[in-house]
Structure 1
Amino acid sequence: MKKNTNFFERISQIIDYYGINSVNEFAREWLGYSSAEKINRLKKENTSPSFDILNDISNKFVEIDNKWLVTGEGEMIPRKNGIINESQMISSQNYKNQAPKIITVNAHNVDNIVLVPQKLQAGYLQGYNDPNFIQELPTFRLPGLNNGIFRMFEIEGNSMFPTLPNKSYVVGQFVENWITGIKDNQIYAIISNDIEDGLVKRCINRIKKYNNLICKSDNRRNFPTQNIEPSTIKEVWEIKLHLNFQLPDPADVYDRMNDLEADLQELKQYLAK
């Protein structure tokens, strides 16, 4: 990787790697700044970042090499042990034409939707290709999910809140070709050796470019982004349906909006005086 003498070039590479839409999103949503001014000023030649900016970036993107961040030397994401095994080398043949090892059908020979409860998700990594394990799981049929292979997973925790609340369910469609089938900023269930109980995240696909799948939480302030090496992945399911049995009460949201509108009107009247 060539040496980048301009720090903003390295920020641009980070933005590209993580699929971030803009410098403004990078500054506000990822670093928690009120604006992108501190980042944009680094576009000027020979402008050095402050220690606070370096510290904020290294704390948020922990997999990035600090030497590369400061000097531009070396690699942005160091390779493990400095090498990539032949089995880890990217090839379009490695990540396509996959199919679930085990599927179940109903009496009409139609594929069932198998439910993987949270308490069994750790075991799913070992049992996803075991007929006895899969056949013991509960199965369902749901309207509108007919063309494809589907699986249901229970959500545990608040990493995807408010999009996917704790204890809700998602139904995913099997993704055969990971290179072309995993779309940026869509939500997927990732079954990987690196994650004991599976992962439901919003993904950025950098498999072909960097041999990496970036998995983001919607609740980014409290849950870090994870990088998944494709060689560790067993299955990928694109989330098509969300089932939530804890229906939210919108009254609080409406009340806050009304209060905000009233405050704005009061401010306008004050400024007009």
Structure 2
Amino acid sequence: MSVKNRIKEYIKSLNIATSTFEESIGASNGYINSISKNIGLDKLTIIIEKYSNLSIEWLLLGKGEMLKDTIQYATNITHRTPQIVTIDSHSQDNIALVPQTLKAGYLSGYNDPNFIKKLPSYRMPGLNNGVFRMFEVEGNSMFPTLPNKSYVVGQFVDNWETGIKDNQIYAIISNEIEDGLIKRCTNRIKKYNNLICKSDNRRNFPTQNIEPSSIKEIWEIKLHLNFQLPDPADIYDRMNDLEAEIQEIKRKQLY
């Protein structure tokens, strides 16, 4: 089913005329029928804002249910979808990149279509089933797993209570994260209303407890891109030196 036909199906569920829907999004009569492969970003943004119960993943990709699940949790967190997405000429989601320099801007502009449209966007092979976003790693809190200035691609997590798995790495969009967006998480949202965010470099970066109400978005990391490939020879040399020192100490103890 095409995007156009899914829009028609949604209009039918509203029990309104197509012309009424077109008028509500500022489109002229016949706009829906004129859609070929994809819908314009400006109209998509208006639809997202005016019809908040419509699943954008279903509209663009045909995935899941037409209407969002609005089941309320004890923590007052509902199922969520990204506020803003961009699509290419084939109606496929682009992967917008959030570089380090725009980290602060993303915290306030994650649901601003003008901000998201200005982000560079890419397509990645193998990342097709879901909504994805790319983030530049900031600092050394996740070193050596994720070095500074490398990149990660995250898949949007809509159900925080069940979708966040212990000891997996996520991009947490929250003002409470003090040293970078990327953390390894322990999910205690249902039990304690708490998301525990840990750094892999735990000697220098303490664990943080994040209240879910402060979180704007969560993305599960699916891909890591590192353009500064480490030389394993240095590691092997250090290991060999250490092994030789241990053997020398043992040898001296025998005499």
Give deviations 1:115-138, integer Å, cap 9, x for gaps: 011111111122111111111110
Instruction: Report the Cα distance in structure 2 between the residues aligned to 1:185 and 1:95, rounded to whole angstroms.
Output: 21
- Equivalent residue of 1:167, what SS? coil
Letter of the 1:136 partner, please give it: K
Q: Which residue of 2 aligns with 1:131?
A: 113
Q: Give the one of 166, 169, 172 matched to 1:190.
A: 172
Query: How high is the TM-score relative to the length of structure 1?
Result: 0.63
How many residues of Structure 1 are paired with residues of Structure 2 in the alignment?
Answer: 184
- The question of whether the paired residues in 1 share the 8 Å contact of 2:138 and 2:180 is answered with no
Q: Give the one of 207, 213, 216 matched to 1:225.
A: 207
Query: How high is the TM-score relative to the length of structure 2?
Result: 0.67
> What are the residue-to-residue correspondences of 1:71-82 with 2, within 5 Å?
none
Determine whether 1:144 maps to 2:141: no
> What are the residue-to-residue correspondences of 1:165-244 with 2, within 5 Å?
165-195=147-177, 199-244=181-226
Give deviations 1:88-139, integer Å, cap 9, x for gaps: xx92584342100111111111111000111111111221111111111100
Task: Tell me: CA distance 1:92–1:145, structure 2 relative to 1, closer, same or farther (3 Å).
Answer: farther
- Equivalent residue of 2:125, what SS? coil
Unmatched runs of 5 consecutive residues or more in structure 2: 1-71
Q: Give the one of 111, 125, 131 matched to 2:93.
A: 111
Q: Cα offset for 1:197? A: 8.5
Q: Which residue of 2 aligns with 1:120?
A: 102
- Equivalent residue of 1:124, what SS? helix
- The question of whether the paired residues in 1 share the 8 Å contact of 2:141 and 2:179 is answered with no
Q: Which residue of 1 aligns with 2:80?
A: 98
Instruction: Report the Cα distance in structure 2 between the residues aligned to 1:197 and 1:157, rounded to whole angstroms.
Output: 7
Unmatched runs of 5 consecutive residues or more in structure 1: 1-89
Instruction: Report the Cα distance in structure 1 between the residues aligned to 2:147 and 2:176, rounded to whole angstroms.
Output: 23
Q: Cα offset for 1:145? A: 1.0
Instruction: Report the Cα distance in structure 2 between the residues aligned to 1:229 and 1:250, rounded to whole angstroms.
Output: 40
Instruction: Report the Cα distance in structure 1 between the residues aligned to 2:74 and 2:125, rounded to whole angstroms.
Output: 34
Instruction: Report the Cα distance in structure 2 between the residues aligned to 1:96 and 1:197, rounded to whole angstroms.
Output: 27
Q: Cα offset for 1:245? A: 1.3
- Equivalent residue of 1:236, what SS? strand
Letter of the 1:231 partner, please give it: S
- The question of whether the paired residues in 2 share the 8 Å contact of 1:122 and 1:198 is answered with no
Letter of the 2:106 partner, please give it: Y
